[in-house]
Amino acid sequence: MNIGLFWIFVLLSLAYWLCHGIYLIVYRLYFHPLRHFPGPKLAAATYWYEIWQDWFAGPYHGRNSWNIEKLHEQYGPIIRRAPDELDVTDPEWFDVLFAGGRRDKYNREAVEGGDASGLIQLTRDRTRHKHRKGALTRFFSKRSVVQLEPSIIEKVELLSAGIEKCMTERRVLHATDAFGALTLDVITDYCFGERYGCLSDPNFSPEWQAFFRDMFSNSPFLRSWGWIVRKRENLPKWLLRYIFPDVEQLLIMKDTVRSKIDAIFEEREKAGVKDGGLTSSTGDVDVECVEKERRTIFHDILDSRVLPPEDKTKWRLTEEAYGMVFAGGVTTGVALSNLAYHLHANREWLIKVREELDQIMPDPNKLAGSSEIERLPVFKACLKESLRIGSLFTERLAFQEPDEYLYYHDWAIPPGTPVSMSICTLHADKEIWYEPNEFRPERWLQGSGTTIHLEKYYAPFSRGSRACIGSK
Ligand code: HEM
């Protein structure tokens, strides 16, 4: 191509880009169905407003969630947070959005170009999500979790031994690493039959928690450039390492999960089940395989009679596995270290919890079962309060009602509009929780009337059809 033609091409591209940008801004400000909703004009005009707040405005990444709180103070309970999205802050409306019907879930990183995610928590379409969740419910039922108790006890004992070793050697114990190691070993052993052995490491494998911190602090960036998440497998290693400095953990996770899935497919093929059972939903093959080894979530997904074949591919199984490690491994570890922190920072509650535990566990070497622990009122109150005050999901969760208008007072929200709300804000509402930023377990002990009233505004595991599958 000659130089003149090249520059004409560049100039035309720039002119097109500029005109398209101006058209978008004018459309979004003056003709868009959400144009009447309150909020800053910049947020209505461009997604760069959120990117700026999240990524560049500092002092930390992911600041936009808190910026939205400020916008609510200025513009009221419903705002246009981005060109096509609204946000509501009103505890009374939480159930309308989260549990008022089976809605589609909206995740900007997952929806660009369709419902591209294989993870249950990022699945947009409500029917597809229902099938995916259905395939896992038996695995996470109360009964299955009770059966898991001996395996959990074995790991708690490993954790205690590790903590004692730390104390004898007078080493500082990083609680998040220690509890993270416990939950990661429990989840990976339970879900994939492949424990990562974090508890056997004298420092509780801190690289895993570093990796999760990386992933979460990068999530605002990834929300705006979701293709990076979807193409992460194909990205050059140098770019992956730049985005996630502790990416080795992702690669380890990928290898262990892949080899497990390959082994299951191989085993099933040997047993005469084509494609590991991909065709089961059509009824072509009977995949009630009697596996010699313990069942994993992969077995349940492959054996599901409602999931279509495309939901049983190796890619999808790997995605679901990543989802489990992130959803279960991180949250529970952080929740346990939060609880440990609050009990030590409020020693009067630590003493009360110990007294309760002494009653059901006079011999500390003989651990009580979960059904006994669940009945301890003070312990339960401390756990609930810790989950409230340390709400783990700071991200605002967004849903779409695809077919009908949603109504927030006089505001009619067009079908398909993503509307988000925050569990964190719900748990810190001054009208509902006195001293919301203080650890006050007594609020859960003040007689059933008060507790029932508070339950309505308490949702650490979210609510409705998208609520946490691992809350048991
Ligand atoms: C204290 C611990 C936990 C907390 C506070 C928690 C909280 C939550 C919340 C708030 C959601 C909704 C997120 C969203 O809509 O994007 C969620 C979803 C989910 N959680 Fe948990 N979680 C915990 C532990 C676990 C465990 C142990 C597992 C299992 C391995 C798990 C698996 C999941 C899954 C699969 C979803 C997606 C459910 C769906 O989309 O229907 N979580 N969790």
Residue-by-residue DSSP string for 178-201? HHHHHHHHHHHHHHHS----GGGS
H-assigned helices in 225-304: 227-230, 237-243, 248-270, 297-303
DSSP-assigned letter for residue 272: T
pLDDT recorded at residue 285: 38
Q: Report the nearest-CA residue for atom 27 of ligand 1.
A: 328
Rg (alpha carbons) of the chain, rounded to whole number: 25
pLDDT recorded at residue 231: 64
- The residues that bridge with 420 in the sheet, in sequence order, are 87, 398
Is 166 labeled as ligand-binding?
no
Record the tokens describing residue 148, joined without a space: 């898991």
The Å distance, Cα 470 to ligand 1 centre, comes to: 6
User: Which of 122, 155, 331 best tests ligand 1's pocket when mutated (most atoms within 8 Å of CB)?
Assistant: 331
DSSP string, 439-457: --GGGGTS-HHHHHHHHTT
Q: What angle do CA 277, 326, 174 make, to 5 degrees?
A: 140
Dist CA 355 CA 265 (whole Å) = 50
Residues 124, 105: contact at Cβ < 8 Å? yes
pLDDT recorded at residue 175: 92
pLDDT recorded at residue 412: 97
Atom of ligand 1 nearest to the CA of 191: 30
Half-sphere exposure of 208 (CA within 13 A, CB side): 28
* Distance of alpha carbon 213 from the chain centroid: 13
pLDDT recorded at residue 286: 41
The Å distance, Cα 203 to ligand 1 centre, comes to: 27
pLDDT recorded at residue 224: 67
pTM of the model: 0.88
Nearest of 85, 159, 282 to residue 167 by alpha carbon = 159
The Å distance, Cα 123 to ligand 1 centre, comes to: 14
Dist CA 324 CA 140 (whole Å) = 11
The Å distance, Cα 100 to ligand 1 centre, comes to: 19
Residues 180, 208: contact at Cβ < 8 Å? yes
The Å distance, Cα 183 to ligand 1 centre, comes to: 13
Atom of ligand 1 nearest to the CA of 123: 40
Dist CA 180 CA 330 (whole Å) = 6
Determine the straight-line distance between the first and last CA of the chain, rounded to whole angstroms.
Answer: 65
The Å distance, Cα 326 to ligand 1 centre, comes to: 9
H-assigned helices in 56-141: 64-75, 94-99, 108-111, 126-137
H-helix or E-strand spanning residue 144:
helix 142-147
Atom of ligand 1 nearest to the CA of 392: 5
Dihedral over alpha carbons 25, 27, 30, 35 (to 10 degrees): -90
Atom of ligand 1 nearest to the CA of 190: 30
User: Which of 133, 468, 471 best tests ligand 1's pocket when mutated (most atoms within 8 Å of CB)?
Assistant: 468
DSSP string, 148-172: THHHHHHHHHHHHHHHHHHHHTTPP
Cα separations in angstroms, 398 against 27, 97, 156, 466: 23, 9, 36, 11
Atom of ligand 1 nearest to the CA of 121: 40
The Å distance, Cα 462 to ligand 1 centre, comes to: 8
3-state secondary structure string across 31-55: CCCCCCCCCCHHHHHCCHHHHHHHH
Residues 178, 163: contact at Cβ < 8 Å? yes
pLDDT recorded at residue 227: 63
DSSP-assigned letter for residue 24: H
Atom of ligand 1 nearest to the CA of 459: 10
Pocket lined around ligand 1, Cβ cut-off 6 Å: 120-121, 133, 187, 323-324, 327-328, 331-332, 335, 387, 392-393, 397, 423, 460-462, 466, 468-470
pLDDT recorded at residue 274: 59
DSSP string, 59-72: SSTTTHHHHHHHHH
The Å distance, Cα 194 to ligand 1 centre, comes to: 21
Domain ranges (residues) in the chain: 1-31, 142-345
Which residue type occupies 378?
V
Q: Report the nearest-CA residue for atom 17 of ligand 1.
A: 468
Q: Report the nearest-CA residue for atom 7 of ligand 1.
A: 461
Which residue type occupies 455?
E
pLDDT recorded at residue 280: 45
Low-confidence ranges of the chain (pLDDT < 50): 113, 279-292
Residue 420 CB: number of other CB atoms within 10 A?
20
Residue 270 CB: number of other CB atoms within 10 A?
8
